[in-house]
Amino acid sequence: MERRSFLTRAWKTGAGFLAGAGAWTSWDLLRPRNAAGFNAKIRTVSPDTVPANTVLEIPEARAYLTKINDEIVALSEVCSHLGCRVPFCDSSGQFECPCHGSFFNRAGDLQGGPAPRGMDRFKIEIVDGVIEIDTAERESGAPPGTVTINEPPRGPPCTEGGHGA
Ligand code: FES
């Protein structure tokens, strides 16, 4: 009888530990985190350091900062076609997607390729003299045919087929 009682108690204790471990693991996997780049406000740089003729990559926000017509914009580096990362090509001065050949001017306007729209933009705010990119506030890229700036490719592309070459 004592042995049976001992085994029952041991079984219940083990089951309790298992349930606790399972609950802890589930909570640890599912709890919200302080994500660096997703749905978070990312503090970046002073507005003075944003270039007007190229872009500044902000990897934590998966975005680029640039000045378009004296206005600072934050462009998402995620291609509006199927989500590849779109690098900026210094020689052409354009964004060139390596996956399926979409390309965009420095303002993110679609210039060619299968993407359905321009590059998405994030809301920005200047807080204490620093640009904050709000990655939770995304605005869809402009429709094809939009011309925000007149900057044709300034040189050779970085990718085969970049700017239709
Ligand atoms: S993912 Fe960029 S063109 Fe397809």
pLDDT one-digit tens code per residue, 22-39: 676 555 544 444 445 578
pTM of the model: 0.77
pLDDT at position 93, please?
96
Is the Cβ atom of 87 under 6 angstroms away from ligand 1? no
Q: Measure 47 CA to ligand 1 centroid, in angstroms.
A: 30
- Residues 110 and 153 occupy one common structural domain: yes
21 and 83 fall within a common domain: no
Asked if residue 36 belongs to a domain, the reply is no
Q: In what order do the strands lie in the sheet with 88-89?
A: 88-89, 94-96, 103-104, 110-112
Which residues, 6 or more positions from 102, have their beta carbon under 8 angstroms from its beta carbon? 79, 80, 81, 86, 110, 112, 113, 114, 115
* 67 & 27 share domain: no
